[in-house]
Structures are given as C-alpha cells and as structure tokens.
Amino acid sequence: MQGGLKSITLILRLFLLAALTAGCGDDSDGGQGGSSPETGSGKANNLGQPGAQDFGLFRQILENGEIPSPETLDAVGFFNEHKLQFPEPKCGQNVCLHGSLGVMGNLMTGTNCTMVMMGMNTSLTVDSKNRPPLQLVIAIDTSGSMLGEPLSYVKGGLQRMVDELLPNDMISIVRYGSVAEIVAEAVPATDRQALLTAISGLDAQGATNIFAGLFTALTLAEKHFDPSRQNRVILLSDGVMTAGIQEKSKLLSLAKGYAGKGVALTTIGVGEEFDVDLMEDLGEVGAGNFYFLEDARSVLEVFTEEVKVFMVPVALDVSITFSAGPAYGVREAFGTHAYSGGPTGGEIYLPALFLAGRTDDTQPEIEGRRGGGGAIIVELMPKFSAVSGVPGSGEQTDINSTVAGDLYRVGTLYLTWKEPATGQVFSQTVEVDNPDLPGEWPQSGTFTTKTTEKAFVMLNLYTAFRSAAELATDGDTGSALAILEAIRPAVANWLKNTEDFDIQDDLKYVDLFINTLASLPNNVIPTVVPEPWPWD
C-alpha cells in the first residue's frame, strides 16, 4: 500500500498524540533544509493516522448485557475516543514530535507499568472550507434487513452530509441488495435537490451482495477519478454476505487494489449482525477507517465527520523509530496498526498525516466520542530493578554493574517526514528519560504531565477490558470479574481529583461489564487478581 498510492487519499482521523516533555523546542534536532515552515495561530492542532477502528461495538455489546469477545476491542479505536490535550508546538517545524513518560504500579495488581507515549502536532491550520474537492462514492446496503429504523437513520445522516459539502464536490450513490444499482452519478454538490431526491428514494429489499456494492462503487470512483480531488468510497452494511461473491479474500484484494490506484475506502457497520472482521479489514487494506454505528447520533456524526476530514496532508512518508534504553525491553505497542519491531524497539510508518477533529478535552462530544484523537503508547519492562524482589528483577540490586549505558534513558524517538509541497525531508530526535532508576517510582507515580497520567489510566482500562474479555471467553469469568473489580476503585479514585468526561464514560462500561459477569452462575473469584502484564 505504501508504494502504490498515486495520490494522497488517506483520510486520517486518529491523531498521534503525546504530552509535552521538557519542551518541544528542547527535544528537536531541527530539519533537513533551510526553509521556514508557515505557522498558524500558535495553538496546537492534532495530527492523525489511518486504520481507526470504532469502539462502539464493544460498548453496545456491554449495554446489551452481553460479554464482548476480545476481537471487538481494538486499542486504536479505544484510544481514538479519548482526547488528550496538546501542548503548543515549538520545535520549529510544521510537525512536532513529543514523547512523555508514565511510571507507576498498574491499577490492577500494583506491579510496575512503564510506558512511553508518543505523538505529533502542528501549528499549521487548514481551513476545511478550502480543502481539495471530493470525488466521493457512497455504497449503501439497502437489503431487507435495513427496513425501518436503520435505513431511516442512514438517510438522515446522508441528508445532513449534503449540507457539509463544498460547491466543487462530486457525489455518487450506489444502492445494493441482491444486486447493485447506481442512483446518482457524479452529481455536483451544488445540485443539492438531486442528491436529496436520490437519498429519499432509497428503500430496503433483497439479500446482501456486498461484493456487487463494493465493486460497483470502486469502478465508479475509478471512472471519475481526478488527481486534483480526494477520491474515496464509503461502504455501509448491516449484515453478512448472503448473495454474490462471498469470499473475503476477493473483497480484500479488490479494496487493496483500488487503494493502490488512489481510491481509499471507509467502511461502516450498522446494527449488531454485520461482519465485523470483514468491514474492519476492508477499511484497513483500503487505507480508510472502520466505524460501528450504534444509534442515530452516530450515523449523523460519521457521515459529516468523514466529509470534514478530507483535508490537505501536513506530512508524507512519516516514520517514527523507537529504541528502548539499555535497562528496558519493549513488551507491546498500543494505539497503532503500523508498528513493527521487537524487544529493543521498532518503527511506525505512516504514508501521510492530516489534521484531526476534536481539539478540546474539557468538553464531552455532543454526538458521541469519535475523533477524540488517541495515543500511541509503547509499554516497557525494566530488565532489572533497583527494588529487590520486584518481578523481573531476579533479586538484582546492583544494576549499574549489570547493564551498560544510561540507566535513566527509557527510550529514544526519531522522526522523519516529507513536506508535501516541496518534498523536503525533516527530522527530529526526542529522548525520554526517567528521573528514577528502573523499577523505582514514587507512590503517586512519575508522569511527564497530567495528560500522560490520563493516558496511563487509558492504557490500564484498555488492558483490563482486554484481559476480562479474553478470560471470560475462555470460561474463566471469575478471574475476569476480579480484574475489573480491581481496577474500578483505582479509576474512581483518580476521577475524584480529575474531571474527565472520557474516563468517566469508560467507568460506566466497567460497571456494565462487572454487572454482566456478576450475574453469571458459578463464578469462582481467585484470591489473587490475575496479573494483566505477566512477566515473561
């Protein structure tokens, strides 16, 4: 995918967010080349990455009093619904990389949890009213199962989307049931009535032929492909394939092929019966996003937000490498599908970065929590510990004689990116240090900023949800319940001193999960809470 894109069509809603370290101006080594970047108002704007899965399905299953499977929980989607406030970028470039540290006992068992949060922001501003025009094709599932409320919501979302279009946008609409049919082809946004008429005429009948709908939409996008436009397809479905070609590999190959031609794909699942794996994978290989629509508010939000984020790319060919310090090993990376690496570090490659949506973490979203931003977090483990008896320390008390190098260096981040207009390459290095030795931390923890602390809580909540879902799926509902009951008071305690709408909402779903598990018969609660991050 990274080599085949002929035009910049990746729409990136999830920003790579991090907290301010010692100061963005202090952690940059400058760029390659001498041109000065344009600056905006000085206020930080968020940047984003592809492949954002929605967290709505996991929430909906819990609201229904059911136990979600681990596959319905994705760290990218979960982190995306949490806004972390940016500092002002001061690195002297259009893209500023930040790294921050969080160290404390995890919120379930108290053993060491060390994390580095990384991300980028910019002082550039891009007016959505001046974005490149769209060439957008929307493929709508109008099979019989969409009858009534589902189709009514979708039509409402499409009608609202029309109001967000710019005069130069071109819109096509494909409906598909047993077969696919083009109901609007390359209609200018100025012909508002024609679009509204096509939308209002959608009705539900027939089976679900996803391949026909996708193929028709992609070929239509290719027919009207314009390199000066953002060329994109949105595919919506409420069910699994029941007609036409039903081989997943063929649909994925189709989406990937057109992404390589510059036509990106976003997928939307409606209700609770759609093929989650298919829609998620299509969005990822198609260089777009995946959403789950649980209610009418979500439908309205997704269609309008997907239009708003078709913006000018801020950076191309973005690479972030992370190298762990000599006393640390990488356990896992969260919040991106683009990370690859091993115990000593890894790399994140992103074809492009765009500005993202929500910019204020002090107010809840009026229509859901999508587009909050997110974080990329690398979770590490000390190879040795200054604290005798800490798991993983091997009772090692003199790590200075065991580990060569800087014991306080947790990791090094190195960013490279290309300026879209000139092709100029910029770079930046960020060092992340720990004021304490590995395995040591004050009772209140070590956090670069309050934002880093929130990200630490997010990471622990995600891990608790994931562990509980895995344990419950394996039949160990008692251990799943123990994990959630252990983290609940810690999160509630944190909220006593910190007003945060996102974490407060997460706690609601912890309670729902606990109530569902507690209602099951024959729960055997372990005397010791299972370790969420077991030492290898």
Check if the beta carbon of residue 273 is closer than 8 Å to that of residue 242: no
Q: How many Cβ atoms sit within 10 Å of the Cβ of residue 168? A: 15
Residue 10: per-residue pLDDT: 26
Rounded distance, CA 96 to CA 427, Å?
10
Q: Break the chain into its structural domains and give their ranges.
A: 27-126+313-518, 130-308
Calculate the CA 204 to chain-centre distance: 32
pLDDT at 12 over 60: no
**Stretch 372-385: mean pLDDT:** 80
Of 52-56, 122-126, 441-445, which range is least confident? 52-56
Average pLDDT score, the chain: 79
Q: What is the band of 404 on the pLDDT scale with cuts at 50, 70, 90?
A: low
Angle at 104 between CA 101 and CA 108, to 5 degrees: 130
Amino acid at position 74, single letter: D
Tell me which range, 22-31, 201-210, 358-367, 387-396, is most confidently predicted by mean pLDDT.
201-210
The CA-atom distances, in angstroms, between 172 and each of 229, 232, 408 are 14, 10, 56
Amino acid at position 270, single letter: V
Check if the beta carbon of residue 448 is closer than 8 Å to that of residue 116: no
Q: How many Cβ atoms sit within 10 Å of the Cβ of residue 477? A: 22
Q: What is the band of 86 on the pLDDT scale with cuts at 50, 70, 90?
A: low
Q: What is the band of 482 on the pLDDT scale with cuts at 50, 70, 90?
A: very high
pTM score, two decimals? 0.72
Q: What is the band of 519 on the pLDDT scale with cuts at 50, 70, 90?
A: very high
**pLDDT tens sequence across 29-83:** 333 322 222 333 445 666 665 544 557 778 888 999 999 999 888 887 788 778 8
Q: How many Cβ atoms sit within 10 Å of the Cβ of residue 403? A: 17
Residue 391: per-residue pLDDT: 43
φ and ψ of 521, to 5 deg: -80, 160
Residue 65: per-residue pLDDT: 93
User: Which residues does 457 contact at the CB level (< 8 Å), separation at least 6?
Assistant: 107, 491, 494, 503
Rounded distance, CA 69 to CA 472, Å?
8
**pLDDT tens sequence across 207-233:** 999 999 999 999 999 999 998 888 889
Q: What is the band of 130 on the pLDDT scale with cuts at 50, 70, 90?
A: low
SS3 (DSSP) at 357? coil
Residue 365: per-residue pLDDT: 52
Residue 60, token pair as written in the block: 């909906």
Tell me which range, 89-98, 264-273, 448-457, is most confidently predicted by mean pLDDT.
448-457
Buried b (16+ CB within 10 A) or exposed e, 442-465: eeeebbbbebbbbbbbbbbbbbbb
Residue 117: per-residue pLDDT: 92
**Stretch 486-505: mean pLDDT:** 94
User: Which residues does 350 contact at the CB level (< 8 Å), separation at least 6?
Assistant: 12, 16, 49, 50, 318, 319, 338
Q: What do you get for the CA distance between the two ends of the chain, in Å?
A: 34
Check if the beta carbon of residue 358 is closer than 8 Å to that of residue 93: no
What percent of the chain is modeled with pLDDT above 70? 76
**Stretch 464-475: mean pLDDT:** 94
CATH code, residues 130-308: 3.40.50.410
SS3 (DSSP) at 60? helix
SS3 (DSSP) at 254? helix
Residue 157: per-residue pLDDT: 85
More confident residue, 15 or 180: 180
User: Which residues does 349 contact at the CB level (< 8 Å), separation at least 6?
Assistant: 2, 317, 318, 319, 338
Check if the beta carbon of residue 17 is closer than 8 Å to that of residue 374: yes
**Stretch 273-295: mean pLDDT:** 75
User: Which residues does 188 contact at the CB level (< 8 Å), separation at least 6?
Assistant: 167, 168, 169, 170
More confident residue, 331 or 271: 331
**pLDDT tens sequence across 182-193:** 999 999 999 999
Residue 294: per-residue pLDDT: 65
Q: What is the band of 329 on the pLDDT scale with cuts at 50, 70, 90?
A: very high
**pLDDT tens sequence across 255-268:** 988 888 888 888 88
